């Protein structure tokens, strides 16, 4: 539906409250009765009494004129009274006045007087014409009056809407929007208003009235017991969350009747902004006895659309601020990371170099000092590895790792991982079993080499002897790479935990590492769209398996003569 | 790490006369790094000239005509890569850059600009000396010999034949071109882009997987274990390097 609610409420041709608009019926709670209007006939009895009085007074005033003026002129007097009654008292009294005038005219003026009997048949025509003219004039006059009233009311409303729009444009948060729109609805309809806005997950929550709460909701009722049982509980009107969600999802307005618990009726409007539905506006009557006139729906739609525009503006302002904050913090993070990495690397480079100079200097150091120099060097290198791991993890966790993915044979990265780890493997035998038909894979070679490096280093560290193997399997969607060892295996049940930060296989002092290695592996593999897991190796030991998606490798067309 | 010290390299070690010692220009802003690099190089009978900034480095290379330049990429006053570009405009002096780990883009930029090799911080003295010597040993391109051997492979570039353990090996034209390029730049790191440009011509940046596939073929034909190459080495994320 999504009416263009910014347009002024359409005029009702009849000047009467419009027939109930057809509303989407979403639940048993909604019934046509909800939109039934309080009849305009509810005009107070006083108006009818006034009509009667006017007619009687006319009759009394006209009585002395009998014989002085023609009866036809007395008819005119009665018609004038009907016009006046219609103008001042409305349509119903005018109809009453029309009939009463005819009756009084017949009774008091047409011979035989003081009897409803008519001697001369031609007076029947007079009565008929008089009644018809009186009814017609009364009708037209009453309509004129209603239209004038309606116009005046609309003008007031438009001015109020305009004032509200101006106030809304200065709103800086949703609570102010709710307060301003709430004040307008209270003045115009004696109803209360609640905005339901979605959170990040898309669940609707009432706006926290905050500091403006007293301004926006005070006074209209005393039933605000501060209860917050449901997400949309407010002022005794309970709107089941599903209905608010339905309005939010469909963008269609919805009306409610009082339910069996006697809660007041309410209307729900989507906050339809140009881009999307950004919330739901709930308007509920101030008390259970009152209903909201369906005729005011266009007005409320206008309120909803004004509120929607402001809420959307607030949302986009928040989004821009958030983005700017993100950019700022990212800039800060990356400059911090590079500063830290530079500042840590330089002294470590110096440490390694100076320890080396001690070891190779002349004359050669005594064995004890040579050992010390070697230990300094080794520890500095280890520290450098830790720093590297920490910085990598910081970058990976920031989620801002830019993968330099290229299609390449996996074999190459196995070779470079092994050659980079020669010292760490302590001459261990590594068996490589890669199938000949391994397809090209798209990955960041530096990062995947790091995964292999960490897995191989772990295998060498935790399985001090036995063979280490690197294998691969081609599966339908992915290629699975496995690094297996023949060590003591994994702690049962803790396989998944191994990949958490700072988790180590066993709490022992003999092997080092801050437990970052596997967490980095997982971050890298997941950044590639793969998965990594650990499992016991058939025949003892542990197996770490990770997958890389196969994707669609680029074409490889050997030029002529390159077969 | 100690390979450089244990191997008996020809060159400076056999000619300890100081005046004949090759000069190494060291452009590095950290005093302590300059200190241990200088000590290590002087112990190995190199002459060392130092500069702490890019500007001073440029002046130093122009004045001292060093046999090799060690250049830190993180200089305070400017871009090491720009310095390399400037040097390459008028000098073919071997350049080894000192660079951070996980800074592949920086390394590639330096190599593409004309650097010959890189050392990743932190580095040991053995590694440093091995890289320096390898660069100084590299034959100038015009002195390349027709025949060269590595492992059990013999390449005769005059005859355009390749033999492995005495048996002829068939290489496709692209494989042969790639092999010759690697041999001619032995010891130097060639970036993927440099190799693609030389073998396939310009505009092949999108097809880097071709290069990797052909390198794989070469390894299968010429290496004892293609998964653990001894000669055609991978510089992960950067390129390849041929080692005799």
pLDDT at A222: 36
Rounded to 5 degrees, what are φ and ψ at B153? -105, 140
pLDDT at A494: 67
pLDDT at A234: 42
Confidence at A26, pLDDT banded by 50, 70, 90 = very low
Distance CA B198, CA A152 (A): 86
Question: Is the ipTM value over 0.95, yes or no?
Answer: no
State whether B122 and A414 contact (CB < 8 Å). Answer: no
Identify any residues that bridge with B95 across adjacent strands, giving them in sequence order.
B69
State whether B173 and A561 contact (CB < 8 Å). Answer: yes
Distance CA B58, CA B78 (A): 12
- The length of chain A in residues reads 563
pLDDT at A134: 83
A453 reaches B (C-beta below 8 A): no
Closest approach of chain B CAs to the CA of A411, in angstroms? 6
Out of A347, A356, A554, name the one closest to residue B124 (CB): A356
Distance CA B183, CA B230 (A): 14
Q: Which residues in chain B are contacts of A356 at CB distance < 8 A?
A: 36, 40, 124-126
- Residue A360 has a CB neighbour count (10 Å cut-off) of 20
State whether A445 and B125 contact (CB < 8 Å). Answer: no
Q: Which residues in chain A are contacts of B209 at CB distance < 8 A?
A: 406-408, 440, 553-554, 556
Whether A272 shows a pLDDT value over 60: the answer reads yes
State whether B228 and A406 contact (CB < 8 Å). Answer: no
Listed in sequence order, the residues at least 6 apart from B32 whose beta carbon sits closer than 8 Å to its beta carbon are A346, A347, A350, A353, A354
Q: Which residues in chain B are contacts of A432 at CB distance < 8 A?
A: 227-228
Out of A404, A418, A554, name the one closest to residue B237 (CB): A404
Interface list for chain B against chain A, based on CB atoms closer than 8 Å: 1, 5, 30, 32-33, 35-37, 39-40, 43, 74, 100-102, 104, 121-126, 172-174, 207-210, 212-213, 215-216, 226-229, 233-237
Q: In the A/B pair of chains, how many CB contacts fall below 8 A?
A: 135
Which residue, chain included where needed, has tokens 């017991």? A225
Whether A36 shows a pLDDT value over 80: the answer reads no
State whether B236 and A380 contact (CB < 8 Å). Answer: no
Paired tokens of A528 = 């590639």
Q: Which residues in chain B are contacts of A554 at CB distance < 8 A?
A: 207, 209
Identify any residues that bridge with B137 across adjacent strands, giving them in sequence order.
none
Residues A204, A232: contact at Cβ < 8 Å?
yes
Closest approach of chain B CAs to the CA of A361, in angstroms? 8
Q: Using one digit for the tens of pLDDT, what is the confidence trace for A413-466?
A: 998 898 888 777 777 788 888 898 889 999 999 899 989 988 988 888 887 777
**Coil, strand or helix at B118:** strand
Q: Using one digit for the tens of pLDDT, what is the confidence trace for B39-94?
A: 899 988 899 999 999 889 999 999 989 999 999 988 887 778 889 998 999 888 99
B-interface mutation test, from A411, A449, A483, A555, most B Cβ less than 10 A away: A411
pLDDT at B47: 92
Residues A291, A285: contact at Cβ < 8 Å?
yes
Whether B114 shows a pLDDT value over 80: the answer reads yes
Closest approach of chain A CAs to the CA of B165, in angstroms? 23
pLDDT at A471: 92
For chain B, the C-alpha Rg in angstroms (whole number) is 19
Nearest-by-CA chain B residue for A378: B124
Give the pLDDT mean for A16-28: 38
State whether B228 and A346 contact (CB < 8 Å). Answer: no
B-interface mutation test, from A334, A338, A353, most B Cβ less than 10 A away: A353
CA of residue B60 relative to chain centroid, distance = 22
Q: Which residues in chain B are contacts of A445 at CB distance < 8 A?
A: 236-237
Cα angle B140, B141, B147 (rounded to 5 degrees) comes to 105
Give the pLDDT mean for B10-21: 51
Distance CA A337, CA A393 (A): 11
Which residue, chain included where needed, has tokens 């690094």? A483
Q: Which residues in chain A are contacts of B208 at CB distance < 8 A?
A: 406-408
Closest approach of chain A CAs to the CA of B61, in angstroms? 24
Whether B220 shows a pLDDT value over 60: the answer reads yes
- pTM of the model as a whole: 0.60
Nearest-by-CA chain B residue for A421: B1
Nearest-by-CA chain B residue for A556: B210
Residues A305, A278: contact at Cβ < 8 Å?
no
470-529 in A: which are within 8 Å (CB) of B? none
Confidence at A256, pLDDT banded by 50, 70, 90 = low
State whether B122 and A446 contact (CB < 8 Å). Answer: no
Q: What is the DSSP string of A2-13?
A: ---TTSPPPPPT
Q: Using one digit for the tens of pLDDT, what is the confidence trace for A204-228?
A: 888 876 544 333 333 333 333 333 3
Whether B99 shows a pLDDT value over 60: the answer reads yes
Q: Which residues in chain A are contacts of B30 at CB distance < 8 A?
A: 346, 349-350
Nearest-by-CA chain B residue for A449: B236
pLDDT at A106: 86
A150 reaches B (C-beta below 8 A): no
pLDDT at A228: 37
pLDDT at A47: 87
Query: Which is nearest to A400 in space by CA: A322, A323, A333?
Result: A333
Paired tokens of B6 = 């244990």
Rounded to 5 degrees, what are φ and ψ at A11? -80, 140
Number of H helices, E strands in chain B: 9, 12
Is B133 or A262 the better-scoring residue by pLDDT?
A: B133
Out of B33, B100, B213, name the one closest to residue A341 (CB): B100
């Amino acid at each position: 539906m999504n009416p263009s609610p910014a347009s002024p409420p359409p005029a009702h041709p009849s000047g009467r409250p419009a027939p109930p608009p057809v509303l989407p019926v979403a639940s048993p709670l909604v019934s046509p009765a909800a939109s039934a209007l309080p009849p305009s006939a509810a005009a107070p009895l006083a108006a009818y009494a006034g009509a009667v009085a006017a007619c009687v007074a006319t009759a009394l005033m006209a009585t002395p004129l009998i014989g002085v003026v023609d009866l036809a002129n007395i008819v005119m007097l009665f018609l004038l009274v009907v016009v006046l009654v219609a103008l001042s008292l409305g349509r119903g009294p005018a109809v009453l006045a029309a009939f009463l005038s005819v009756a009084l005219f017949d009774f008091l003026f047409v011979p035989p007087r003081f009897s409803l009997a008519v001697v001369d048949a031609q007076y029947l025509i007079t009565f008929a014409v008089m009644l018809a003219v009186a009814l017609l004039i009364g009708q037209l006059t009453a309509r004129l009056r209603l239209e004038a009233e309606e116009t005046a009311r609309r003008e007031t409303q438009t001015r109020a809407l305009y004032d509200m729009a101006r106030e809304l444009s200065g709103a800086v948060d949703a609570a102010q929007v709710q307060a301003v729109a709430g004040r307008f609805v209270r003045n115009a309809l004696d109803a209360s208003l609640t905005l339901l806005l979605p959170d990040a997950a898309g669940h609707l929550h009432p706006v926290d009235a905050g500091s403006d709460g007293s301004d926006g909701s005070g006074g209209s009722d005393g039933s605000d017991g501060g209860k917050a049982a449901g997400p949309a509980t407010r002022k005794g009107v309970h709107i089941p969350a599903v209905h608010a969600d339905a309005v939010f999802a469909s963008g269609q307005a919805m009306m409610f009747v009082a339910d069996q618990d006697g809660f007041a009726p309410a209307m729900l409007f989507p906050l339809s902004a140009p881009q999307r539905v950004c919330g739901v506006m709930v308007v509920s009557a101030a008390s259970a006895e009152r209903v909201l006139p369906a005729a005011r729906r266009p007005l409320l739609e206008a309120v909803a659309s004004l509120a929607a525009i402001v809420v959307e503006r607030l949302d986009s302002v928040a989004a821009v601020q958030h983005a700017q904050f993100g950019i700022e913090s990212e800039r800060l993070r990356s400059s911090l990371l590079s500063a830290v990495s530079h500042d840590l690397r330089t002294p470590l480079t110096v440490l390694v170099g100076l320890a080396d100079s001690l070891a190779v200097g002349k004359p050669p150091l005594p064995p004890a000092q040579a050992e010390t120099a070697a230990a300094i060097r080794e520890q500095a290198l280890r520290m450098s590895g830790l720093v590297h791991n920490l910085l990598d993890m910081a970058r990976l966790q920031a989620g801002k790792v830019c993968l330099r993915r290229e299609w390449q044979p996996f074999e190459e990265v196995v070779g470079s991982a092994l050659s980079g780890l020669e010292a760490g493997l302590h001459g261990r035998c590594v068996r490589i079993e890669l199938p000949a038909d391994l397809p090209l894979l798209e990955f960041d070679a530096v990062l995947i080499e790091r995964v292999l490096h960490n897995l191989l280093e772990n295998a060498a560290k935790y399985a001090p002897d036995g063979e280490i193997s690197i294998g691969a399997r081609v599966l339908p969607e992915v290629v699975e790479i496995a690094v297996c060892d023949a060590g003591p295996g994994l702690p049962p049940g803790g396989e998944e935990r191994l990949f958490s930060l700072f988790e180590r296989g066993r709490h022992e002092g003999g092997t080092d590492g801050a437990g970052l290695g596997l967490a980095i592996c997982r971050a890298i593999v997941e950044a590639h769209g793969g998965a990594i897991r650990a499992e016991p190796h058939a025949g003892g030991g542990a197996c770490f398996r990770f997958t890389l998606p196969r994707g669609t490798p680029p074409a490889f067309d050997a030029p002529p003569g390159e077969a | 790490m100690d390979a450089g010290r244990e191997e008996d390299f020809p060159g400076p070690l056999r000619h300890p006369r100081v005046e004949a010692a090759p000069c190494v220009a060291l452009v590095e802003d950290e005093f302590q790094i300059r200190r241990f690099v200088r000590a290590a190089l002087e112990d190995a009978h190199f002459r060392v000239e130092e500069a702490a900034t890019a500007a001073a480095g440029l002046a130093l290379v122009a004045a001292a005509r060093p046999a090799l330049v060690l250049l830190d990429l993180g200089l305070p006053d400017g871009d090491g890569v720009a310095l390399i570009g400037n040097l390459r405009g008028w000098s073919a002096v071997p350049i080894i850059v000192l660079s951070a780990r996980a800074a592949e883009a920086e390394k590639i930029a330096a190599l593409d600009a004309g650097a010959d090799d890189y050392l990743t911080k932190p580095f040991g003295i053995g590694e440093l000396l091995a890289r320096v010597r390898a660069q100084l040993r590299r034959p100038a391109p015009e002195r390349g010999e027709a025949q060269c051997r590595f492992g059990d492979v013999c390449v005769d570039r005059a005859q355009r034949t390749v033999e492995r353990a005495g048996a002829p090996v068939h290489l496709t034209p692209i494989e042969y071109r790639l092999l010759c390029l690697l041999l001619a730049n032995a010891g130097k790191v060639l970036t993927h882009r440099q190799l693609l440009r030389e073998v396939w011509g310009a505009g092949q940046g999108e097809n880097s997987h071709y290069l990797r596939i052909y390198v794989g073929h070469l390894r299968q034909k010429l290496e004892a274990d293609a998964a653990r190459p001894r000669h055609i080495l991978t510089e992960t994320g950067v390129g390849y390097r041929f080692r005799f």
